[in-house]
Amino acid sequence: MIFKRFVPRLSAAMVACSLVTSAQAGDSFTKAGDVLQIALPVAALVCATRKHDFTPAAWRFIGQEVAVEASKHALGNATINQRPNGGTHGFPSGHTAAAFYGASYLSRQCMHTKGGKVLAFGLAALVGASRVHGDNHTVGQVLAGALVGVAFDRVKVTFDDRRVHVGMRYEF
């Protein structure tokens, strides 16, 4: 019972810290994207905790983060990995992947109205738009990040008898 009361408070503290941190640089639109890329997955993990699904949801989120970083480093100086601001390691957008993971989980497990689902994906889309607006990513890098985030939420991997079964869940 204490755990159920603690998790929402911890999540609120994490969002508040991200607000304070992001308020120090950039314009308001970029700051909003920085905050939402943390708030959406945190909200999804709070929901997962309430649904007794935290461990699988957290592992899928971690897998998504590892895949994004591995892709960025594997591509090195490839053209697709170049950021508009001149930097490298831009493919796919990690901010967008995290936001879309959170939005996908929330829409599948926690949002039971179309309006809630539209809101979750709209906020995730705002994160992607903020990355393009801030010259941190191209539209293609943002779209790739969105696909990675949704895919890692929707993929279900099970292991039995030395076989790996991978299936996608399409629950809207």
Give, for 30, the enclosing helix (H) or strand (E).
helix 28-50
Least confident of 27-31, 95-99, 126-130, 141-145: 27-31
Domain residue ranges in the chain: 2-168
Q: What are phi and psi of 78, to 5 degrees?
A: -60, 150
Q: What is the pLDDT of residues 47-80, one digit of tens each?
A: 999 999 999 999 999 999 999 999 999 999 999 9
- Identify the CA nearest to 152 among candidates 101, 93, 99: 101
DSSP run (H or E) holding 163: strand 163-168
Is the model's pTM score more than 0.85? no
Question: pLDDT over 90 for what percent of the chain?
Answer: 67
Task: Say if residue 102's pLDDT is above 50.
Answer: yes
135, 125 Cβ separation under 8 angstroms = no
Report how far residue 167's alpha carbon sits from residue 172's, in angstroms, rounded to the nearest whole number.
16
Higher pLDDT, residue 172 or 81: 81
* pLDDT score recorded for residue 161: 52
